[in-house]
Amino acid sequence: MGQEIASAGFDEADRARFARALAEETALAREMFAAGEFSSAGPVAGFELEAWLIDRNMFPAPHNQTFLAHVNDPLVVPELSRFNIEINGTPRSPAGEGLLAMERELAATWARCVAVAHEDVDTAIAIGTLPTLRDADLNLAMITPSNRYVALNREVMRLRGGEPLEIAIDSAIPGAGALRARHADVMLEAATTSFQLHWQVGAADIGRAFDASIMLSGPLLALSANSPFLFGRPLWHESRIALFEQALAGAAGHPELPCRVTFGDSYAGSDPSALFSDNQERFSVLLPICSDEPPERFAHLRLHNGTLWRWNRPLVGFDGDGTPHLRLEQRVMPAGPSVIDMFANAAFFYGACQALANDPPALSFAAARTNFYAAARNGIGAELEWPGLGTVPARRVLALLIEPARSGLEQLGTASQAIERYLDVIEQRVATGRNGAEWQLAHHARHGDPFRLTADYLEYQRSGMAVHEWGL
C-alpha cells in the first residue's frame, strides 16, 4: 500500500487481468516456498511508526503535504489522512547494538519531524488514538491527495454497495456507555495509528516465528495499550483494535464480504505461504493495478496483501541480491507513548518471539485469539490464559515472559547493555502496571480534560521518559 498509482479508476478488464496475475503469483509463491527457494537470510528487524500532526489547540492539523515537502526524507511518508504521517526505520540485525542504532535513528527522525512541524505552527505526537479527535475530523476533505487513497475509498464503498460503515464499541469503563458512529467512507481508519514491527528470519524458521508472534499478540497488546479514547470517550484500553476492524468490516447487506482486518483463523504452521492462497480465494481485489513485472517480483500478490490488514501479516520482500524473502509484520501495538517505550516493546517482542519459536508453549489458537481481544478491551488489567498458569492477570504472564525475552535476545546476539536498557523498562512497567492507556485513564479520572491530557502527554513524550515514570 506504500506505492502511488497512476490512476484512481479501474474497469472489468483491469480486474480480470489482475486476478489472473494474482493467481499465477500465488501459485508461484507456494511452489517456491515448498522448494526452499525463499531466502535463508536473517534475522533482520524493522519498524514503521504512524503518527499525528496536531495544532496548538491539540486538534488534528491537516498539513502533511507541506510537512512532507519540508522534511524531505524518503523514510517519512504520507498516510491516509492529511493529519497523519509514517516514519520508517532502516532494517538492521538485532545483534550487537542493532536495536540501539534503530532507537537512535527513530529518535533523530522524530526530533526532526517535530522541528519541521513547527514551521506550520503544528507539532507531531505519537499516540494510538488522539483524545481530542472529533468525529467530524474524519471526512473525505481530510484524505491525503493521492490516487491510491482515493481508489481505496471508492473500491471499499463499491464492494459494500454504498452501504455506510457502522461503528459500535462498548466501554470497558463502568458507566461510560457505548459509542456508535456511521460513516460513508473509510476515514475512520485514520484514527488508528500504530507501531509496526517487521521480523525477517530464514524461510525454514518463518512458520514457527509467525506462530510465536500470534501467541505473543495478547501479552504484547496488554503491555503496550495506548488508545483508550475515541472522540473523547473512554472505551477499550486499545480502542484502535475494535475501530480498525469495524472500519473495514463487511456490510450487513453483503455477507460474502469478510472483514479485511483480522486476527485470522489458525496458526500458520509449517507453511505460512498458504496465507497468500487464503488472501486470493477469500478477499476481493481492491486495487487491480496491473504490472508488467515478471511473476517472480510478486507485484500483484504484494499489492493485494497490502490491502488486507491481518494483525500478524506475512510479507514478501527482497534481499539486497534480489532473492525473495518472507517476513512477518506484527501490527498489534499502538504508537507511543515514548521512543524508549516503543523500543522496549520491540526488544521484548523480538526476544520473546525468538524464544517461543524455538520452544513453543502449548497455547491453542483459540486461547491466543481470546487473549488478544481481552488485552484490547482491558489492557494490562486483562486476564490472559497461558500454559502452566491457567487464566491469570496479564501482569503474571508478562512477568513470566521477561526471562524468555532475555534469553531470546541473548540468542540473537543483542548487546547486553541493550538487553538491560529495554527489559528494565518492561520490568518496571509490569511492576507498576502503568502503560500508556493506564496513564491516560488515570489522568482523565483526575482532571477530566482531554486537552490537558493531550498537552501533558506531549510534554512527557518530549521528555524522553518511559511512561511508568510519568506523573499525573
**235-257: per-residue pLDDT in tens?**
999 999 999 999 988 765 666 67
CA distance 207 to 225: 26
Residue 72 cell numbers, joined: 524531505
Amino acid at 355: A
Question: CB within 8 A of 74, min separation 6: which ones?
Answer: none
Residue 445, classified by CB atoms within 10 Å of its CB into exposed (0-12), middle (13-18) or buried (19+), is exposed
Q: What percentage of the chain carries pLDDT values higher than 90? A: 90
Residue-wise DSSP of 335-359: S-S-HHHHHHHHHHHHHHHHHHHHS
Residue 41 cell numbers, joined: 537470510
Predicted local confidence at residue 1, as pLDDT = 42
Greatest alpha-carbon span in the chain: 60
Tell me how many degrees the CA angle 299-304-306 measures, rounded to the nearest 5.
95
Predicted local confidence at residue 250, as pLDDT = 75
Question: Would you identify the CATH topology of the domain 12-466?
Answer: Creatine Kinase; Chain A, domain 2 (3.30.590)
Q: With b meaning 16 or more CB within 10 Å and e meaning fewer, what string describes 394-432? A: bbebbebbbebbbbbbeebebbeebbebbbebbeebbee
Q: Are 455 and 57 in contact (CB under 8 A)?
A: no
Residue 124 cell numbers, joined: 507531531
Beta bridge partners of 180: 168
Q: What CA–CA distances, in Å, run from 113 to 60, 150, 451?
A: 16, 26, 22
CA distance 87 to 106: 8
**138-180: per-residue pLDDT in tens?**
999 999 999 889 999 999 998 888 889 989 999 988 888 899 9
Residue 223 cell numbers, joined: 503491555
Residue 465 cell numbers, joined: 521518559
Residue 407 cell numbers, joined: 534469553
Predicted local confidence at residue 3, as pLDDT = 54
CA distance 369 to 226: 20
Residue 149 cell numbers, joined: 487513497
Predicted local confidence at residue 226, as pLDDT = 98
Q: With b meaning 16 or more CB within 10 Å and e meaning fewer, what string describes 356-374? A: bbeeebebeeebbbbbbbb
Judged by DSSP in three states, 265 sits in coil
Mode of pairing for the β-strands spanning 309-310 and 261-262: parallel
Judged by DSSP in three states, 142 sits in helix
In 117-158, beta strands by DSSP E: 122-125
CA distance 317 to 471: 43
The DSSP output letter for 66 is H
Predicted local confidence at residue 183, as pLDDT = 93
Question: Whose CA is closest to 461, among 24, 6, 26, 49?
Answer: 49
Per-residue pLDDT of the chain (472 residues; tens, 9 = 90+): 445 455 556 889 999 999 999 999 999 999 999 999 999 999 999 999 999 999 999 999 999 999 999 999 999 999 999 999 999 999 999 999 999 999 999 999 999 999 999 988 899 999 999 999 999 999 999 999 998 899 999 999 988 888 899 899 999 888 888 999 999 999 999 999 999 999 999 999 999 999 999 999 999 999 999 999 999 999 999 999 999 999 988 765 666 678 999 999 999 999 999 999 999 999 999 999 999 999 999 999 999 999 999 999 999 999 999 999 999 999 999 999 999 999 999 999 999 999 999 999 999 999 999 999 999 999 999 999 999 999 999 999 999 999 999 999 999 999 999 999 999 999 999 999 999 999 999 999 999 999 999 999 999 999 999 999 999 9
Predicted local confidence at residue 148, as pLDDT = 87
Provide the terminal-to-terminal Cα distance of the chain, rounded to the nearest Å. 39
Predicted local confidence at residue 255, as pLDDT = 62
Q: What CA–CA distances, in Å, run from 98 to 93, 188, 248, 287, 469?
A: 6, 35, 36, 36, 26
Q: Are 99 and 46 in contact (CB under 8 A)?
A: no
Question: Whose CA is closest to 324, among 43, 76, 26, 37?
Answer: 37
Amino acid at 133: L
Segment (H or E) for 263: none
Tell me how many degrees the CA angle 362-367-373 measures, rounded to the nearest 5.
145
Beta bridge partners of 76: 87
Judged by DSSP in three states, 43 sits in coil
Q: Radius of gyration over alpha carbons of the chain, in Å? A: 21
Q: Are 62 and 144 in contact (CB under 8 A)?
A: no
CA distance 315 to 305: 8
Segment (H or E) for 198: strand 195-200
CA distance 418 to 100: 6
Q: Domain boundaries in the chain? A: 12-466
Q: With b meaning 16 or more CB within 10 Å and e meaning fewer, what string describes 54-64? A: bbeebbbbbbb
